[in-house]
Structure 1
Amino acid sequence: MLKSIEEECVCQTKRLRHHPSIAIYAGNNEDYQVQEQAGLTYDYEDKDPQSWLRTDFPARYIYEKLLPDVVGAHSPHVPYHPGSPWGDGNISSDPTVRDMHQWNVWHGTQEKYQLFDKLGGRFNSEFGMEGFPHIDTIKYYVTDPTQL
């Protein structure tokens, strides 16, 4: 499996490395949040990649060893980030380090949208709130029975 992931990463970094829109590579989306919520093993001080494969969070090897090695070899001019969000040793929702995802207006703690300016972090790489659909969509499923 690891060999297949490595081959795919080599192919994709070679394919995309000269694309002007590639500003950063991120190893995963919210997997460190899953690790935290599920209580999976993660010892930030453990820097032995082989030992990560023997834990209940072996994906760390992919995000912190395999992918950064491939990106470094084939697209060294583009920064690599292990995950998004990524706490760099802190919890992934720590607003003082790295990036965070802020969806607490319509998800999570369901804060009022008026508090959006206070819900920020060092860098919000995801944020938003649920939006109302286009009026044509509503007209499609909400009909006036007198018009039938």
Structure 2
Amino acid sequence: MTDQEIKNNIIEKALEYGAPSAYAALFDDMSDTFRNKFMNHISDRDFGLPIVKYGHPNGCWVLIGTKEIAWQNERLYFLPIDQIVRFSIPKKEKEKAAEIQPNRMMRKFEFEILTIHTLDGDSYDIWLHKGKEYYGFWHMMIRFFGWRRNDTSQSV
């Protein structure tokens, strides 16, 4: 798939999962100031096309590109999407959600931190607004994992 085909597909999925919202925005719809600043950060990277940004009330955010993701916590980080092995919910996040929402069926809407695990064994915590933005991001990444599986199975 070309970068533009990936972008179109992810935009379609993002719209299905509630973007834009208070904490999710399509990159093309963001302010010129943010877009220009971000484009300067990726000018020497193989980021691909920026697609959708998911944020958190604390100011942290994660932006999905066609080849990498970027996230802003205390500083700006980049990670190639093909280096991501899986996601998990940190134990402390599960415990916090259980305190906030004792009903087991509702806890997933209280999660705000997602841990990204990479091929080299590293892990990174990212902040996402709880609820639909959290799961919107998760489903965008599932789409990338599906493409990776299909690419691998076709080349074998």
TM-score (structure 1 length as normaliser): 0.29
Answer 1 or 2: which has greater strand percent: 2
Q: Which of the two has higher C-alpha Rg?
A: 1
TM-score (structure 2 length as normaliser): 0.28
